[in-house]
Copies of this chain bind each other. A is one copy, B any other.
Amino acid sequence: MSTQARQPAEKKLTRKGQETRRRIVAAAAQLMYERGVTEATLEDVRAAAGVSGSQIYHYFADKQELLLAVIEFQTEAVLDMQKPLFAGLDTMEGLRQWRDALVEYQLRLQCRGGCPIGSLGSEVAETNPEARLAAASGFLRWESAIRGGLQRMYDRGELDADPDDLALATLAALQGGLLLTQLQRQVRPLEVALDSMLDHIEAHTRQA
């Protein structure tokens, strides 16, 4: 019963019910992003979502199940936001645009918050295996999107290195850069980390 049957519900919900559920997840995601999982109390979530009483327990068995829904939600949000840029990751120009957008976004946030998946993942990694796997799976999807672009470059014969390795290294550089940017409250770490990685990729390009 442990690994099975998580989030068994999600069905049989009225339109209004689905809407309420979504509002709870969104509010929880925001609060957990701002304060961390343990600091975000269900009372806060309740108030922020504009629901009352035992509503949260009506839709989620416990805080854990809500947390898993939040990780899923944040993964979708992160990937959705970058979706328009993923298609371009098969040229250096597109990669630079992607980099610029990430840097720009952090600037708008004043370097606060870090990566929604990374922050959650780091917090739960050692105490919550289920949540750890959920975060890891989110990163796998992200990595896939990056790999897709590099793979197309490789297939066109424009890249002279393993796309798998480069994609993973790029995601790592992004995450590390984000963490340092978050802690220092300046974008330079993110800029430098991504630039180094993209320069490294560029060094392995050749015109087809």
A residues with CB within 8 A of B: 34-36, 38-39, 112-114, 118-119, 121-123, 125-127, 132, 135-136, 139, 165-166, 168-169, 171-180, 182-184, 188-190, 192-193, 195-197, 199-200, 203
Contact = CB atoms under 8 A, between A and B. Distances in A.
A9 to B, nearest CB: 26
A172 B193 contact: yes
A183 B132 contact: yes
A172 B180 contact: yes
Nearest to A140: B184
19 contacts: A35-B126, A112-B126, A114-B126, A119-B125, A122-B179, A135-B183, A139-B183, A165-B192, A168-B189, A168-B193, A169-B196, A169-B197, A171-B180, A172-B190, A174-B176, A176-B176, A176-B179, A199-B200, A203-B203
B118 A179 contact: yes
B180 A127 contact: no
B168 A180 contact: yes
Contact of A125 (B127, B175, B183, B197): B183
Nearest to A197: B196
Contact of A196 (B166, B179, B190): B166
Contact of A127 (B35, B184, B197): B35
A111 to B, nearest CB: 10
A188 B176 contact: no
A175 B118 CA distance: 11
Contacts of A169: 173, 177, 192-193, 195-197
A196 B202 CA distance: 12
Contact of A38 (B39, B174, B176, B180): B39
A123 to B, nearest CB: 6
